[in-house]
A and B are shown apart, each in its own frame.
Chain A
Amino acid sequence: MTDVRQHAVDIHEQFSNHLDIGVDDVEARLDTLVNEYRVPADEARRSVVSHYLDEAGLEREDIRGESASMQIESIDTADQWIDVTAEVVQLWEPRSESISQVGLLGDETGTMKFVSFATSELPEIEEGTTYRFENVVTDEYQERFSIKLNRTTGIEEVDEDLDVDAPESGRGENAQVELAAIDTDEQWIDVTAKVTELWEPRSESISQVGLLGDQSGATKFVSFATSELPELDEGAVYRLENVVTDEYQGDFSVKLNRTTSIERVEEDIEVGDNTVEAEGVLIDIQNGSGLIKRCPNDDCTRVLQNGRCSEHGEVEGEFDLRIKGVLDDGNEVQETIFDREATAELGGIGLEEAKEMAMDALDTTVVADEINETVLGRYYRVSGPTLGRYLLVNEMAEISGPTTDPEELLIKARSI
C-alpha cells in the first residue's frame, strides 16, 4: 500500500461514524495535494482532515485519532493523538481561567508540560500520582512540545511507580548553569545566584517570586506554596539545586519545586547584565513584524495570529509595533527583536502613525512593507540583552562605509 493510500485508510476510519465517504475520495484529495501540489504528506493529511471536519460540522477533538502509546522523549510532532502513562511531577498555577490545570508530566524518558482546559471538564489530577492518559494531543509552541488534554481524554490512575527521569533521579547530576545561558525549557539545573528583587506574589499558590542574578545576568524565579520551601531573603546569595527552567514568550525563568535544595552561600555576587552586541546586514524581516495585535489578557500579551491567541482563543487584540529581524554578517546570523520604541527608531514610524497608515490602506501589512523598504539590506550595529535565540535591541546604529581600511586589505590581497 502506498503512503497516500495508508493515510487515506486512516482518515476514512476516523470519519467512519460521521460521514459517508469512500476511501477513494479521501485518497484522491490526498493525492492531489501530495503529488500535484507537492504538499508534504503530514500537512496534506491535516488539510484533508480539516476538510472532512468542516463537512461533518465537527471539531478536531470530536474525532478519535489513531492514538498510539508513546513515551515522552519520542514526542516530536504537533497535533498527534497519543496515549501516555506518566506521573504528574508538578502542578503550576494556571495563567488563565480557561486552563484548569497545567504542569509537568514525567515518565522514564523525560518530562513535558501538559495543559488541561476548563471547557474539557476533566477530573483533577494530583501531583505525585501516575495516570494513564488516553487520547491526548501533542502541541508545539516555539519549538517546545507539550501535551494537551481534551474532552475525549481518558484518565485512569495507575498503581505504578514510574522512575521519572526528572527531579529525584536527576538530583546531584544537574549541570551548574549561568542564568544568561538558560535557553531550554524544562531543564533541571543548579544555579548559584543572588536574590536581587522580591515581588508581591499575585496568587496565594505562589510563595515567592522575584529576580535572581549572577555574573551573567538576571532571571525571574518562582517558588510555589505547595513546595513548602524556606523563604529566600532579598540580597542574599544561594546555591539552588534542582530547579527547573521555564519558557514563556521567549522569556526564560526558573521554578523552585519541592525537590529543590536551598543553601545560603556566604559570598557576594556581582550581578552582570547579559548585553551583547551584533552587527551585520538586516537581511530579513520575519512574519509577525510591523503593526501587530497582542492578546489583552494580563500576563499573556501573545501576538495574535488571525485574531486568535494560542492560549485564549479569539480576543479583541491591542495594537503594538515590533520587528523580528535577522542580522547576517556573512558568517553567522543573529535573530533580533525590536520592541515598539526600537521599531520607531529603526523604521521611523511610531504606533499612532502606523495605525493611521493601516487605516488609510485598510491593511496592516503596509506598515511592515514600508519598514522593509527603509531598513532591509542596510548594515546595523545593535546591542541589548539576549533572550533565548533573540537579541532584544536597546541600542542601534546604521553603519556604512568601508568595513576595514581598503588600503590594508589591498596590501593583504596582493600578498596572498
Chain B
Amino acid sequence: MSSAPTREVAQRVFAREFNDSGYTFKESDDDRAPVYLLLPTGERANRIFVVGTLTETEDVGEDSEYWRGRVVDPTGTFFVYAGQYQPEAANVLREIETPKYVAVVGKPRTYETDEGDTNVAVRPESITIVDAATRDRWVTETAGRTVERIEAAAEDPEGINEYARMATEQYDLPPENYREAVVAALEELEDEESMDAEIEAA
C-alpha cells in the first residue's frame, strides 16, 4: 500500500561549500519529484538548515516585493530570497532590524547569472530570530556533519556512495577543500570563547 513520502532531512552545510555547489538533479521523472543540490562533499540536499547573522536586507524586486537577505556564517554568505510565495519569510526580512542571528530552513535554488555562471541561493520555508548559543550549536553541528562527509569520502575512493561518485564526476572540488572551512569556523568559535573568558577575567 502507499506510504507517506518521507520528509527530506535538512542538511547542515557551511556557506563556502553551499556556494561552490551548482549541480542539481532529480531522482525520478515525476514533475513533482524533489530537486537535489549536489554538495561537493558527496551528499544530496533538498533542504538545508542554516544559522548565521542576517547582515543586510534589501527589496530587489521590480514589480512586486522581492527580498534578499545576506546570512553570514564563519565561512561565507548565504543569499536568501523571499517574495510573494514566501510571505512569512518576506515579512521577516521586511520588518527585521539587522544585524540579528537568524535560523533559516529552506530549499536550495540555482539560477544563472548574466555572466552565465550558476549561483545558488536559499528559498526560505522559515526564518526566525535566535540567540548566539543556538548559532554556536549550529557551527559545531555543521562542522561535525561536514567532517563526517569528508571522512566518508576519504574512505570511499571507489565512489561506492553514489553522491560521492557524482561529486567527483560533476565537480573539480576535492572534499578536503572544506576541511579548511571547518577549521576556520571552529577556530573562530574558540577565539570568541577565549575572548569571552578574557573579558570576564578583566
A residues contacting B by CB (< 8 A) are: 38, 40, 75-76, 143, 145, 281, 283-284, 326, 328, 330-333, 335, 369, 372-373, 376-379, 399-404, 406-407, 409-410, 412-414, 416
Residues from chain B with a CB closer than 8 A to the CB of A399 are: 137
Residues from chain A with a CB closer than 8 A to the CB of B127 are: 377
B143 within 8 A of A: yes
B residues contacting A by CB (< 8 A) are: 1-4, 6-7, 9-12, 31-32, 49, 51, 88, 102-105, 125-131, 133-134, 136-137, 139-141, 143-145, 147, 150-151, 154, 176, 179, 182-183, 186-187, 189-190, 193
Pairs A–B under 8 Å by Cβ, sample size 6: A281-B105, A400-B136, A404-B140, A409-B140, A410-B183, A416-B147
A75 to B176, CA, bound (A): 50
| Closest B residue, CB atoms, query A379 | B137
| Closest B residue, CB atoms, query A399 | B137
Residues from chain A with a CB closer than 8 A to the CB of B189 are: 402, 406
| Contact assessment for B126 and A372 in the assembled complex, using a CB-CB cutoff below 8 Å | yes
Q: Which 5 A-B pairs have the closest CB atoms?
A: A377-B103, A400-B133, A402-B140, A377-B128, A410-B186
Q: A281-B103, A416-B151 are in contact. Are A406 and B134 (CB under 8 A)?
A: no
Min C-beta distance of A400 to chain B, whole Å? 4
Residues from chain A with a CB closer than 8 A to the CB of B134 are: 377-379, 400
| Closest B residue, CB atoms, query A412 | B147
Q: Contacting B186 at CB < 8 Å: which of A335, A401, A409, A416?
A: A409
| Closest A residue, CB atoms, query B187 | A410
| Contact assessment for B2 and A413 in the assembled complex, using a CB-CB cutoff below 8 Å | no
A390 to B78, CA, bound (A): 33
Min C-beta distance of B175 to chain A, whole Å? 9
| Closest A residue, CB atoms, query B129 | A373
| Closest A residue, CB atoms, query B12 | A330
Min C-beta distance of B193 to chain A, whole Å? 8
Q: Contacting A403 at CB < 8 Å: which of B4, B125, B144?
A: B144
Min C-beta distance of B184 to chain A, whole Å? 10
Min C-beta distance of B89 to chain A, whole Å? 11
Residues from chain A with a CB closer than 8 A to the CB of B105 are: 281, 283-284, 376-377
Q: A283-B105, A330-B49 are in contact. Are A401 and B136 (CB under 8 A)?
A: yes
Residues from chain B with a CB closer than 8 A to the CB of A326 are: 7
A409 to B51, CA, bound (A): 19
Given contact pairs A281-B49, A409-B144, a sample of 10 additional A-B residue pairs in the complex whose CB atoms are under 8 Å apart: A40-B32, A143-B3, A330-B12, A379-B134, A400-B133, A400-B134, A401-B137, A402-B139, A406-B190, A413-B143
| Contact assessment for B104 and A377 in the assembled complex, using a CB-CB cutoff below 8 Å | yes
Q: A376-B105, A377-B103 are in contact. Are A413 and B179 (CB under 8 A)?
A: yes
A145 to B1, CA, bound (A): 9
Q: Contacting A38 at CB < 8 Å: which of B31, B179, B187?
A: B31
| Contact assessment for A328 and B137 in the assembled complex, using a CB-CB cutoff below 8 Å | no
| Contact assessment for B103 and A376 in the assembled complex, using a CB-CB cutoff below 8 Å | yes
| Closest B residue, CB atoms, query A398 | B134
Min C-beta distance of B101 to chain A, whole Å? 10
| Contact assessment for B147 and A372 in the assembled complex, using a CB-CB cutoff below 8 Å | no
Most B CB within 10 A of own CB, among A143, A372, A399, A413 = A413
A1 to B97, CA, bound (A): 57
Q: Contacting A328 at CB < 8 Å: which of B4, B49, B104, B136?
A: B49
A28 to B3, CA, bound (A): 33
Residues from chain A with a CB closer than 8 A to the CB of B139 are: 402
Q: A416-B147, A416-B151 are in contact. Are A378 and B103 (CB under 8 A)?
A: yes
Residues from chain B with a CB closer than 8 A to the CB of A281 are: 10, 49, 103, 105
A406 to B32, CA, bound (A): 40
Min C-beta distance of B178 to chain A, whole Å? 10
| Contact assessment for B10 and A407 in the assembled complex, using a CB-CB cutoff below 8 Å | no
Residues from chain B with a CB closer than 8 A to the CB of A376 are: 103, 105, 126, 128
| Contact assessment for B130 and A330 in the assembled complex, using a CB-CB cutoff below 8 Å | no
A407 to B134, CA, bound (A): 18
Q: Contacting A409 at CB < 8 Å: which of B3, B143, B150?
A: B143
| Contact assessment for A400 and B3 in the assembled complex, using a CB-CB cutoff below 8 Å | no
| Closest A residue, CB atoms, query B48 | A330
